[in-house]
Amino acid sequence: MAKKLNYYEILEVFPAATQDEIENAFKNMLFKYHPDHNPDKPDWAHEKTAEVLDAHKILSNQLRRTIYNFMIFAALREKPAEVAFNFFQGADKKKYEEAAGILQEGIALYDSQKQQALIKFQHAFATYPLPEAVYNMGVFYTATNKVQEAMRAFREAVKIEPGNQHYIRTVDKLGELIREIEKAKQMAGTGE
């Protein structure tokens, strides 16, 4: 998988930065990367300026920033947890290994072909109930603004692996995000 750009890194601010700090960093980065200040590398300057504009677009809007922060927290699970099988579970072990391979195929496709990746995650989960596969379905649904489907997927991951604190926190954080989205919709509807 290609390394994703982190908007906080682009603006050189901490995730806890205030809106004023984000605005100041945005102005500084625009100045730093402006093509007029980098005449020897105009293509690089345009690319960096575009990254700064994208970062500002997300981080300057509180709801977008909240969604972005959730997406950082709920990143794809790239490797299934090891499972110990006994001698009598040879068929289960084979299904687990097959599902783990399918999961890896989905992860490889995620950045370029999200819909195909979802199909792979679903196939992996149908082959063997990997919590990572259903969790990754939740990540896909969140990225495509299907938060109710995401919640169902994350809750299923918790059911399969009830002791996984990350899965539990993901459900809690998504619940907070859903409440914030509803609040923003209500405020937009009332004109506040």
Average pLDDT over residues 95-106: 96
Q: What pLDDT does 145 receive?
A: 86
142 and 184 inside one domain: yes
171, 155 in Cβ contact below 8 A? yes
Sequence-separated contacts (24+) of 154-158 with Cβ below 8 Å: 154/74, 156/131, 157/131, 157/132
pLDDT score at 190: 62
Domain count, the chain: 2
Q: What is the CATH number of the domain that holds 22?
A: 1.10.287.110
H or E segment to which residue 192 belongs: none
Residues 23 and 177: their CA atoms lie apart, in Å, by: 24
pTM assigned to the model: 0.79
In tens, the pLDDT along 55-84 reads: 999 999 988 898 899 988 888 898 888 888
Residues 56 and 84 in one domain: no
pLDDT averaged over every residue in the chain: 91
Say if 124 falls within a structural domain: yes
| Per-residue pLDDT tens over the stretch 148-184 | 999 999 999 999 999 999 999 999 999 999 998 888 8
pLDDT of residue 191 exceeding 60: no
**Can you say how many angstroms the Cα of residue 58 is from the centroid of all Cα atoms in its chain?**
14
Are residues 43 and 113 part of one domain?
no
Longest CA–CA span in the chain (Å) reads 69
- Per-residue model confidence (pLDDT) at position 3: 47
Range of the domain at 15: 7-60
Tokens standing for residue 163: 């002791």
Same domain, residue pair 88 and 50: no
